[in-house]
């Protein structure tokens, strides 16, 4: 498999704090890599390291098989775009001027590309407006328009859904899918896991600077446990019945929801609960979602 990004024991230490701790990351070319982690887990630091904004304390990385210490890396980076934390725009300049400015340092001479980029992000007609008068969502879109100017092969987006309304999120999602179909690889860090779930082809789960797991979406769904979800007011009674039938892999949720993970058939479950005098209000088969999977992975209780 060809990789857009490979890191080998990538480490960044600030004073005594290990912000990134021996991360071995593999982003396949053509993938949409969902980068999931809690606040301060090291997602942004890794993006900053990959973009040359910060230097690794230890370890190495390569972009499209070019080592970060090679002189070739600057040529490779010329076709990589990124939004780190927030789009870097000059607020006193208009949208057109910001794009023209970016075209200049990218060495892009085709003026049509500015109109095309604005059109792609749904900002046509706002070219003459100063960026300081843009809403947060519009700035985010303009930031993405800037990313498209150099015809990138890899785009790194740090929390790109921030500040976008539901329509904006849907449009951005469609744009990412569209660009990915054209061969652009994406690394997207996001807290909105439900959105990542709709587009990611691969995942990297990070916590406290360490990459806990890398997995393809296909394998993730395989790993997401099937469960039978039942709803009954008296959860203690259900627990008692489950223990009686030697079923110990279950979880209690609020409002009388119980999930049973053992490979048990819903009808069998209904039958023995009925025999124990428990009349179930609702029962359905379900899968663990990405958020639950992540919380289980990091030990639960943390906000993703």
Partner 1 sequence: MLNIFKSALYKMFRDKTFHVVCIIGLVLVAFMTFLGYIIDQSTDGFKYLTGQNMLVTSMSPVQNFGLALPINLISLTIGEYTFGTFRNKIIAGYRKSYVYFTMILIGSIFTIGLITIYVCLSTLMGVIFGGFDLSIPATTFGILSGQFIGQYILYSVLTYLAIASFSIFISTNIRNHGGSVSIVVVSVMILYLTSLFVRLSSVGHFDDFNFYQWINPLYCYGATSVDTIANGGHATFNKTLSISSVVAPMLWIVVFNVLGTICFIKRDIK
Site residues (vs partner 1, CB under 8 A): 48, 51-55, 74-82, 84, 86-93, 97, 100-102, 104-107, 146, 150
| Closer of 63 and 298 to partner 1 (Cβ) | 63
| Calpha distance 25→10 (Å, rounded) | 9
Rounded to the nearest 5 degrees, what angle is found at the Cα of 40, between the Cα atoms of 191 and 167?
20
Please, are residues 143 and 83 in contact by the beta-carbon 8 Å criterion?
A: yes
Strands 3-14 and 282-287, by their bridges, are unpaired
| Closer of 106 and 272 to partner 1 (Cβ) | 106
Neighbours of 231 (CB within 10 A): 16
In whole angstroms, the minimum distance from the beta carbon of 54 to partner 1 comes to: 4
In whole angstroms, the minimum distance from the beta carbon of 136 to partner 1 comes to: 15
| Closer of 54 and 212 to partner 1 (Cβ) | 54
In whole angstroms, the minimum distance from the beta carbon of 50 to partner 1 comes to: 10
In whole angstroms, the minimum distance from the beta carbon of 259 to partner 1 comes to: 44
In whole angstroms, the minimum distance from the beta carbon of 144 to partner 1 comes to: 14
Residue with tokens 């340092």: 105
DSSP state at residue 200? -
Query: Closest Cα partner for 23 from 204, 268, 233?
Result: 204
SS3 290: helix
Residue with tokens 């996001």: 190
| Calpha distance 31→63 (Å, rounded) | 14
| Closer of 44 and 227 to partner 1 (Cβ) | 44
| Closer of 15 and 255 to partner 1 (Cβ) | 15
């Amino acid at each position: 498999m060809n990789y857009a990004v490979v890191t080998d024991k990538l480490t960044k230490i600030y004073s005594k704090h290990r912000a990134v701790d021996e991360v071995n990351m593999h982003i396949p070319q053509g993938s949409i890599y969902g980068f999931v982690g809690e606040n301060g887990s090291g997602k942004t630091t890794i993006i900053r390291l990959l973009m040359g904004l910060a230097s690794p304390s230890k370890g190495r990385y390569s972009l499209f098989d070019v080592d970060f210490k090679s002189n070739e890396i600057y040529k490779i980076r010329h076709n990589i775009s990124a939004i780190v934390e927030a789009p870097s725009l000059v607020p006193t300049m208009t949208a057109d001027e910001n794009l023209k400015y970016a075209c200049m340092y990218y060495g892009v001479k085709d003026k049509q590309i500015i109109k095309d980029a604005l059109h792609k992000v749904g900002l046509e007609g706002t070219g003459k407006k100063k960026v300081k008068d843009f809403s947060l969502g519009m700035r985010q879109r303009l930031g993405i328009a800037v990313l498209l100017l150099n015809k990138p092969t890899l785009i790194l987006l740090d929390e790109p859904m921030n500040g976008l309304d539901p329509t904006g999120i849907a449009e951005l999602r469609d744009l990412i899918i569209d660009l990915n179909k054209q061969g652009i690889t994406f690394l997207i860090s996001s807290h909105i896991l439900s959105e990542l779930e709709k587009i990611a082809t691969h995942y990297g789960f990070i916590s406290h600077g360490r990459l806990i797991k890398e997995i393809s979406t296909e394998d993730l769904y395989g790993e997401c446990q099937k469960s039978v979800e039942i709803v009954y007011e008296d959860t203690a009674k259900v627990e008692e019945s489950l223990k009686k039938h030697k079923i110990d892999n279950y979880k209690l949720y609020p409002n009388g929801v119980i999930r049973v993970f053992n490979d048990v058939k819903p009808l069998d479950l209904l039958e023995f609960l009925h025999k124990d005098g428990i009349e179930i209000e609702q029962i359905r088969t379900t899968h663990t979602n990405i958020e639950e999977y992540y919380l289980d992975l990091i030990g639960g209780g943390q906000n993703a």
